[in-house]
Each structure stands twice: as C-alpha cells, then as structure tokens.
Amino acid sequence: MSELDVVSVPKTAGEPAASVVIPSYQGAARLPALLDSLAAQEEGTPDFEVIVVIDGVDDGSAAVVDAENRIAVRSVEFPENRGRVAALNAGFDDARGRVLIRCDDDLVVPPTFVSAHVSAHQGPAVGVIGLTRDIHRDSAYARAYGTDAGDRAHRAARNRTAEERWRLWAANCSITRDTWEQVGPYDTRYRAYGWEDVDYGYRLAEAGLDLVIADAAEAEHHGPARTAASRAHKAFESGAARAMFRQLHPGALLPAAGPGKGIWGKAVGIASHVLSTGDRVRRVAGIVDQVLPLVPNAVGRKLVALAVEGAALGAESSRGAATEPTSGRTAATRRTAAAGRPRVAIAHDYLTQRGGAERLVLSILKAFPDAEIHTLFYEPDQIYPEYRDARIRTSPLNRIGVLRRDPRKALPLLAPFASRMRIDADVVVASSSGWAHAFPTTGKKIVYCHSPARWLYLPEDYLGDAGRFDVKRLALTVLTPLLKPWDRRAALRADRYFGNSSVVVERIRRVYGIHPDPLFPPFSPAVAEGGQEPIGELADWVGAGGEEGGHYLVVSRLQPYKHVDRVIEAFRELPGKRLLIIGKGPERDRLRAMAPSNVRLVEGLTDAQMRWAYAHCAALIAASHEDFGLTPLEACAHGKPVIALRAGGYLDTVREGVNGVFFDAPEAGAIRTGIAELDNGAPWDERAIRAHADRFSEEQFIAALHDASDEALRYRQGPQRTASEKGETTS
C-alpha cells in the first residue's frame, strides 16, 4: 500500500480525466504519427487533452499542433531550448487532467493507451509504466545491433522485479496530479541525455508508490538510434548522467562497476579510456558505422557493443575525475561529464547553407560536443547533414519559411532579433560574420570572427552589381548609420576575439579598434578519405568514368563578390579546357545563362561526388577576395594545386611553388595567365601539397578553443585592448 493518499480519477466539471504531455524538440516530422494514434483511441476512452511542449526550436511543430482538430490539443512554446526536464515540468504544470501521462514525441501509441493509463489509477496511488518497443528501419546498424539490442532490452524490462521497476520510468508513464504535487517536478540538475527519468522513478519508489506495468499502454518507439555513432553518443551522455544520479542518491545503485573480467572486459576497459570525450565517441563510432556494411553481423554487433559500453563507462569514470582539483586534471577530463562542468554554448549567424563557416561550426561542436547551437535561422535541407544530430535553438524568425531559406530578406529585422537571442551558458563561442557576436549571454563570450559585417564595412563586395535603386542597396543606405554603432557595441562586449586570417585580424583592428589573435580555421585531410562517385550530370561532358585531370574546378557560393563570372569569362577563351563550378546562390541563373559549352554548374552534391570532383581535377581556381577560404586546403588534401587570387586569406593558405600559383587581379585575362603558369610549370609534388594542408589541423584549433574557454572562466577580461587605449589611432 502506498504512503500517499488513495486517489480517485473522476473529473470535476470542465476537467479532463487525463492530460498527455509531449516534450518535443524539433519534432515536426514525428508529431503527426503520434497525434494520429492519439486521435484513434478506442470508443469509450475517458476525456483527455494533449499538451505539446515545443522546446525552443519551432521547425513547424506549432503548425502541426494548430492543424490538429480531431482531439483537444494545445502547445506550450519556449522562446529558447531549455531541455527535456524543463519541457516536462512546464507541461505537467500546465496540465488540467487528474492523470498526467508523459509521452515522447517519437512514439506511436495503441488505441487503448489513454484508457490503460487512466484505469490503472483507479485505486491506490501508483506510478504507471507503459513499455516501448523499438521499431528499426532496415540498415547495417539495425541488422548488426539495433534490432537485437532493442528486443533484449524489451525482454529485460518485462522481467524486472517490482522493486527494480523504477529503472523503467521513461518515455511512456503516468502519475496523478496529487502525486505530482507531493513528489515534485523533475530534477533540473540533469542537463544531458538520460537518467532524469530514472531519477523520478526512484523518487516515486522512495515515496512508497508501487510502480506497475500497463500492458495495454505499450507503444511503438520510432525514434531509436539509427547509427552506432548516435547510440554510442547517447550511451556517453547517459553514463555522465548516471554519475550525477549516484551523487544525488548515494546507495541507490551498486558501486560503479569496472569493465569486467575476461577478454571482453579488458576490451571494454581499453575502449572506456579511449572514449573519454564526446568528440572521441563520435569519431570512433563513426568509423564503426563505416565498417558495419563490410563485416558479418556477429562481428558488427561486437563492434557496436564495444563502442556503446566503452562510451558509457568512459563517461561515468570521467565524471568522477571532473571533481578533482584543476591542477591534477587533463584537458579531456576537465570537459568530459555533462553534469558539474562548465556549460558551453555555440552561436552562429544562421545555418542555411553549406559553406566554410558552417563546416567550422561543426569543428567547434567537436571541441564542445555537449554544446547547444544558437542561431537566427536553421534550414536542415540546405545545411550539412551532421547538424541533424545537434541541439539547435533558433529565433522566432525561423518560423517564416521565406526568411529561413534566404536570411538576407530579413536584414532589417536581424539586429533586434539577434539582441534577443539570450544564451544561458558559462561560455559562449560565437562564430560570427555580423550577428552572432551580438547574442547576449549570462556568461563569458569568445568571438571567432570570419569578418566584420561585409554589408556594413565592405558593402560593394556584398552588393556586387546591384543597381542604384536595388532594394538591398536602399535598405543598407537606411540601416547602416543605425547598425554600425550597434555592431561595434556588440563587438566590444566580447571577452576574447579571434580573427580567422591575417587579413581579418587587420580588418577587426581597423573597424573595432580591437587587437584580436589570429586563429586559422581547422581543416581535416579526412575530406579526401572515403569513396568517390562520378557526377551523373557530367556523363555527356567528361564521359561516364571521367578523365583524371579533365577539368578545372571552382567550389564557391554563387555570390557577386566571389568573381565566378570572371572565371567563366576566362574559359570562354579556352575552349579546349573544361571548367566545373560547384555551388549555389543568387547568381546561379545569371551564371548559367552566360556559361559557354565548356563550363558546367552543379549543386547539391554528395560528399562522395565532391571527393570525385576534387580528385579528378587539374587544379582548383580561387578568384574571390576571401577572408580565409578552405577550398584550397580541400584541394591540397587530394594533392591538387591551386590557382589563387593574390589577396586575402589565400595569402595564408597558398604557398607559391608548393601548392599553387597566384594571379594578381580577379579578371579573365589574369586568370588565364595563372592557368598558363600552372600548366607550363614543373610537375607538382602531391606529397608536399598534402603536407601543406596538414599544417592547418583541427586538433590545434580545438586545443586553442579549449585554452580560451579555460582562460575566460578564470577571469573576466575585456576584449584585447582597443587602439585608443593603447594610444593608437584607427583608420
């Protein structure tokens, strides 16, 4: 018998029998199936309401909820992502029902779901658990590990004794409002994935409630991990959260187990030492994903299990080290566990295109794998697929599709909305070309600047050939006097400033009076690793198999200042040579219209097709005034030389005679001269070219960010002293 009062479920006037609370983060694609199943509850189901808590990133979820008219459903929307615990607490507090049912947004429930939960609360106060069964799509991961592991977990859950059922408290469960008011909300100290549910189940058991399983509430779980990398990362976060649970409830669990004995135990022990950071987990498990299609399922199962068990043990072990004095810790252990360590967030202007700045944010995420990303806009279909596994918070403007797809159209609105992108974190690393450095924060701010805003300080580069009465030109004419003071105030609020190249460092000094440190963007030679796939669109141009060295290559956004039109003009006079242009942007239609037959423009390529394009080119042509520019290094990774404009960031990445040649002006004639110089020179040393790329390592970049974060936490410094403070003048 429970120590809590016996509860009855009959509702009072206007009060539903139950409230189904759905915490949802970027759930627009998942919610329809769940709402369909809730709308199909059996006849005679008690009245219920549905509350969807949209956790700070509205990817269309609000529209899904608004369109639902079969059941009583409403949404609670957070202006920023606060995490699952906050979403659950807000939903339960907002609920009006006597029975509070928690249901994750990736479930599909049976027609008996609501009735099963409600009827289980007709007697003494209990906690009700509905089990879930993983539903996997066919894949190498599912065949080797996912399906079997899901089935084993389901059987183990059914076999739990009554005394152990608190461990099953998770995605499908319910209590009454009276119990909620007596036991209290979910514990907000759990910030990473996992164990906030188990914690609540334990508290219910400690309060004297029996935890029962409602068979008729069992649901399908359509959101299990789909890859070894995703599963191992969840295990890593769960291991860190398990350590938090041990701190909060000493004695609830058996002492932390080691890796076990025997060969397998030793292997897990070794893996736990290797998988001691989220970055390592992603890398190692990513390799496992690449191997799975090539090995028997039995071998693949062991590889995934090793990554999962090693990650969980590595995180839990490192959590203990995180409480040691700073002087006795390594950089890795200082940053391992999600609980009890500094909260780092990442800011970026907007994630709406595949460019160098967006690749750099992925490198920052490797440095701080538990960080949330804050951005004005996020368009998943236009950005690298790796972002789908990240936690991303957006501005309210993200709900407007036309602005999300082309943020330039929102220019008059971006400053006020950027000023409201408040970030609650100990350290924010802002990757900025004009907006993210202005996001306010409760902690310290490190700015990695790709360039002070081009539309303010290099407007002709930004506008290109826009006419006198072009809308963007007119808007900038009106907004510039207002935006420049706003932008400079934002820059001066930073605690540390980095510039991404020698040119940008000087530009920051000139524009803001700040003396930043240079930090070159990271580059990984792994861009050249992996399979290659010919580009089907070029089958009638270079042949189905392609000829090695058969084309020159431009990889660029199609913006006016990129000078892609000048490269096209150069090849108009070189009919015997072929030019392949990879990129997208507002200049696409104009450039395609002017391109001669020996020039092709393509976009939306896979990584394998990009590798093919680089590997089979004669050289890369880089004609724009870049602040840094990663494409020369990507060509270097394939042992290919570069023909580059002698300006900007290319002065940092191109070494004449080692990995490329320069031309002196972004004009067709000068570009042709550079092509002739490369063609007529001595053969290029591919090993020397690749070695040059190795100098720009991701490891050095990550180490510099870690050092800057540690320094920012030790004391609050202003940005590097301004020129006026040093007695200098700015131009």
Q: What is the pLDDT of residues 45-74, one digit of tens each?
A: 999 999 999 987 677 899 899 999 999 999
Q: What is the pLDDT of residues 511-539, one digit of tens each?
A: 999 999 999 988 766 677 788 888 888 88
Q: How many CB atoms lie within 10 A of CB 182?
A: 15
Q: What is the pLDDT of residues 588-635, one digit of tens each?
A: 999 999 999 999 999 988 888 999 999 999 999 999 888 787 899 999
Question: Does 721 reside within a domain?
Answer: no
Q: Are 197 and 272 in contact (CB under 8 A)?
A: no
- The CATH code of the domain that includes 625 is 3.40.50.2000
pLDDT at 469: 62
Question: Does 700 reside within a domain?
Answer: no
pTM of the model: 0.47
102 shares its domain with 168: yes
Please state, in angstroms and rounded to a whole number, the distance separating the CA atoms of residues 49 and 46: 10
The arithmetic mean of pLDDT across residues 378-385, rounded, is: 88
Per DSSP bridges, beta strands 99-103 and 172-176 are antiparallel
* SS percent in the chain: helix, strand, coil, step 5: 45, 15, 40
Q: What is the pLDDT of residues 199-247, one digit of tens each?
A: 999 999 989 999 999 999 999 999 888 898 888 888 887 777 777 787 7
3-state secondary structure of 453: coil
133 shares its domain with 178: yes
Question: Does 495 reside within a domain?
Answer: yes
Degrees to nearest 5, angle at CA 350 with 513 and 712: 50
Q: Which of 13-27, 305-319, 322-336, 532-546 has the lowest mean pLDDT?
A: 322-336
Q: How many domains does the chain have?
A: 4
- The CATH code of the domain that includes 66 is 3.90.550.10
**Residue 49's beta-bridge partner residues?**
19, 72
Residue 372 has pLDDT above 70, yes or no: yes
Residue 381, C-beta contacts closer than 8 angstroms, at least 6 positions apart: none
- Residue 101 belongs to what H/E stretch? strand 99-103
Supply the range of the domain harboring residue 681: 532-694
pLDDT at 6: 32
Among candidate residues 334, 367, 395, the one where a domain is terminated: 334
Burial of 133 (0-12, 13-18, 19+ CB in 10 A): middle
Residue 449, C-beta contacts closer than 8 angstroms, at least 6 positions apart: 432, 433, 437, 497, 498, 499, 500, 504, 508, 516
pLDDT at 549: 55
Q: Per-residue confidence at 14, pLDDT binned at 50, 70, 90?
A: low
Among candidate residues 522, 550, 572, the one where a domain is terminated: 522
The full 3-state SS of 461-519, as one line of letters, equals HHHCCCCCCCHHHHHHHHHHHHHHHHHHHHHHCCCEEEECCHHHHHHHHHHHCCCCEEC
327 shares its domain with 385: no
Question: Does 426 reside within a domain?
Answer: yes
pLDDT at 411: 83
321 shares its domain with 355: no
379 shares its domain with 512: yes
pLDDT at 317: 63
670 shares its domain with 565: yes
3-state secondary structure of 642: strand
Please state, in angstroms and rounded to a whole number, the distance separating the CA atoms of residues 431 and 428: 10
- Residue 668 belongs to what H/E stretch? helix 668-680
Amino acid letter at 404? Answer: R
Q: What is the pLDDT of residues 328-349, one digit of tens each?
A: 222 333 333 334 468 899 999 9
354 shares its domain with 501: yes
Backbone angles phi, psi at 608, to 5 degrees: -65, -40
Q: Per-residue confidence at 164, pLDDT binned at 50, 70, 90?
A: confident
The arithmetic mean of pLDDT across residues 171-180, rounded, is: 94
400 shares its domain with 325: no
- Whose structure tokens read 């659950």? 88
pLDDT at 465: 57
Question: Does 9 reside within a domain?
Answer: no
Question: Does 703 reside within a domain?
Answer: no
Per-residue CA distances from 375 to 64, 86, 429, 512 (Å) = 22, 21, 12, 23
392 shares its domain with 250: no
Structure tokens at 210: 């029996």
Among candidate residues 290, 311, 334, the one where a domain is terminated: 334
Percent of the chain at pLDDT > 70 equals: 86
Question: Does 731 reside within a domain?
Answer: no
pLDDT at 243: 74
608 shares its domain with 679: yes
Question: Does 88 reside within a domain?
Answer: yes
Q: Are 674 and 646 in contact (CB under 8 A)?
A: no
Residue 10 has pLDDT above 50, yes or no: no
Please state, in angstroms and rounded to a whole number, the distance separating the CA atoms of residues 582 and 577: 17
Please state, in angstroms and rounded to a whole number, the distance separating the CA atoms of residues 392 and 629: 25
Q: Are 605 and 535 in contact (CB under 8 A)?
A: yes
pLDDT at 644: 95
Q: Are 617 and 594 in contact (CB under 8 A)?
A: no
pLDDT at 57: 67
Degrees to nearest 5, angle at CA 236 with 232 and 238: 115
The arithmetic mean of pLDDT across residues 318-327, rounded, is: 36
392 shares its domain with 496: yes
Please state, in angstroms and rounded to a whole number, the distance separating the CA atoms of residues 691 and 611: 18
Residue 670 has pLDDT above 70, yes or no: yes
Residue 314 has pLDDT above 80, yes or no: no
Q: Which of 22-31, 138-147, 576-585, 717-726 has the lowest mean pLDDT?
A: 717-726
155 shares its domain with 190: yes
